[in-house]
Amino acid sequence: MFFTLIEWFARHGRPLPWREPGCSPWAILVCEVMSQQTPVSRVLPRWNMWMERWPEPSDLAAAAPAEVLVAWDKLGYPRRALRLRECAVVVTEQYGGVLPRQREDLLALPGIGPYTADAIIAFAYRERSTVLDTNIRRVLCRINGTALPPATLRKEEIARAEALVPQDGEEAAQWNAALMELGALVCTSRNPACSQCPLVAQCQWLAAGQPMNAAPRKPQGFTGTHREARGKIMAVLRSAHSPISRADLLKKSGLTESRFGEALDSLLSDGLAARDSAGTYQLPAAQ
């Protein structure tokens, strides 16, 4: 199964810049953070801009939070941008600007969870780790006969995935990357292209007739949500050239008072917006 998948990846894997030899561990981390719940097509131009502007952790650490949030633009979940900057500060001050390679050290960094730590170990340092993003989990569940993975990661799922990871670090990195790409391009959540899958002979889900044997998933909407309201306020703050009054912020956001007030309070609480002594609002100037 390993060689079949790797051969497929060599022919069909996308030529993404963070996969190129010599791409720094920091650049790979930036990609991983940006890619959380965000398609590669949206990440790519923003990642290129960031790496040109802030190629090293020390560069991002020296940037103002407001500058970072403006550069994050419409990637969504802007708290990721501030956590990435916080991470850059720690890496610069405690690790001499070099991203650590030990899992426990990575997990101690701001904004780094188990998936991201394992991805850095595999893709940046080419060492053995079990990477489990949504795409990989879906591929492995289908190989084992289930349409979709459970909503939360379970111990047995981790153990099953870990048993398939090659012992050699370089091969493990290739395996993880190839599985991820297969899930992104072929073994998709909806309408998988099974006729193009290199693992079709191993897929128990296909052999069983593609049963819908996974727990039903409720589609995540956006219009009318708290997240949408936060995004509208952030868009106004990013484009404002000076502090803005609450009344103007409300008007330009296009929100109702009830949605606006709750969203603004949450942005202030998260450190994504700031209120000055004059009662006007802006992006955070310092942290």
Burial of 91 (0-12, 13-18, 19+ CB in 10 A): buried
What one-character DSSP code corresponds to residue 124? Answer: I
CA–CA separation, 16 and 35 (whole Å) = 13
Torsion of CA 241, 272, 50, 126, to 10 degrees: 180
The rounded distance, in Å, linking the Cα atoms of 226 and 242 is 25
Closest CA to 84 of 64, 57, 107: 57
Instruction: Give dist(CA 104, CA 108) in Å, integer.
Output: 6
Of 161, 167, 163, 195, the C-alpha closest to 180 is 161
Q: Is 32 a catalytic residue?
A: yes
Strand partners, 282: 274
Alpha helices in the chain, H assignment, sequence order:
2-12, 25-34, 40-53, 57-61, 65-72, 79-95, 103-107, 114-119, 134-143, 155-164, 169-185, 204-207, 226-239, 246-253, 257-269
Helix, coil or strand: residue 27 = helix
Instruction: Name the catalytic one among 32, 86, 157, 181.
Output: 32
Q: Which residues are catalytic?
A: 32
